Amino acid sequence: MTSVPFDQRDGQIWINGDFVPWKEAKIHVLTHGLHYASAVFEGERAYGGEIFKLREHTERLVESGRLLGFQIPYSAEAIDAACVELLARQGFSDAYVRPIAWRGSESLGVSAQQNRINLAIAIWQWPSYFDPEQRMKGIRLDMAEYRRPDPRTAPSKAKATGLYMICTISKHAAEAKGYADALMLDWRGHVAEATGANVFFVKDGVIHTPNADCFLNGITRRTVIDLARRRGYEVRERTILPEELSGFSECFLTGTAAEVTPVSEIGEYRFTPGDISRQLVSDYADAVQPRRAAAE
């Protein structure tokens, strides 16, 4: 089935305080955010009509803007309210929520301190980031060519659009080889994350995950760490070297889009989705879908 292009879908988009028809939510080609990546965004999911950890996402959006040197001209309360109302207007129970803030088109050049800060929110249905049939068998990852940058060279704590350029390049390269995604190292050569999700490993019943010191400490990442510790699993956040991958038995990714997704392969290394991965897939589903679980 052919997917409908994103600029041709039906419904409404919230933009700068107004709900506008989806196809009319447009910006000018000379928008600063398009030319200089002066934009930040969030990825959120709604389950059973409720947006999971909405305030945490909104606060990170505002902080990301601050790290790029601008202030989003709406309070967290106003942004939350717009997300909730738009979800209702779209008529979705389970959906993906995408707020984005960017510098506008008042001037075009590296310096754009007087440009308007715009905010838009779109909501659509997006079931699974990875192939549902392959997901529980474990997806296959390639090793990415590009690395996550030194925090001294980029605002790595911001969910900024510019930081995803190398992610798109890396994911496209992996898909061209038949992989679902790619594992990225950081500038030091340490294991970092996938192109749009955090990564975890299991060895002898202990869960290991890289220190989030040069990439986003994902909201889903933090949620899964909490769920794992509630189960009694030990979770170690630490430096992980690529040569350690051969010693891990399980691997899984976490993210708003990916949720919890087992991994079966990273380049030459093999993993078997096991009890811990399956348990956390289940626990995360229960955590984000309380209303659905109650209804069932």
Query: CATH number for the domain including 93?
Result: 3.30.470.10
Segment holding 264, helix H or strand E: strand 259-266
In a domain, 203, yes or no: yes
Q: What is the pTM of this model?
A: 0.94
Q: Which residues are tagged catalytic?
A: 159
User: Based on the domain organization, do 141 and 286 belong to the same domain?
Assistant: yes
Strands 44-47, 50-51: pairing is: antiparallel
Could you read off the pLDDT tens digit of each residue along the chain, which spans 296 residues? 358 999 999 999 999 999 999 999 999 999 999 999 999 999 999 999 999 999 999 999 999 999 999 999 999 999 999 999 999 999 999 999 999 999 999 999 999 999 999 999 999 998 776 766 677 899 999 999 999 999 999 999 999 999 999 999 999 999 999 999 999 999 999 999 999 999 999 999 999 999 999 999 999 999 999 999 999 999 999 999 999 999 999 999 999 999 999 999 999 999 999 999 999 999 999 999 865 444 44
Domains contained in the chain, number: 2
Q: Read off the DSSP letter of residue 296.
A: -
Six token digits for residue 187? 């500038």
What is the chain's alpha carbon radius of gyration, rounded to the nearest angstrom? 19
Query: What range does the domain containing 224 cover?
Result: 132-291
In a domain, 296, yes or no: no
User: Based on the domain organization, do 47 and 155 belong to the same domain?
Assistant: no
User: Based on the domain organization, do 91 and 178 belong to the same domain?
Assistant: no
User: Based on the domain organization, do 146 and 234 belong to the same domain?
Assistant: yes
User: Based on the domain organization, do 161 and 271 belong to the same domain?
Assistant: yes
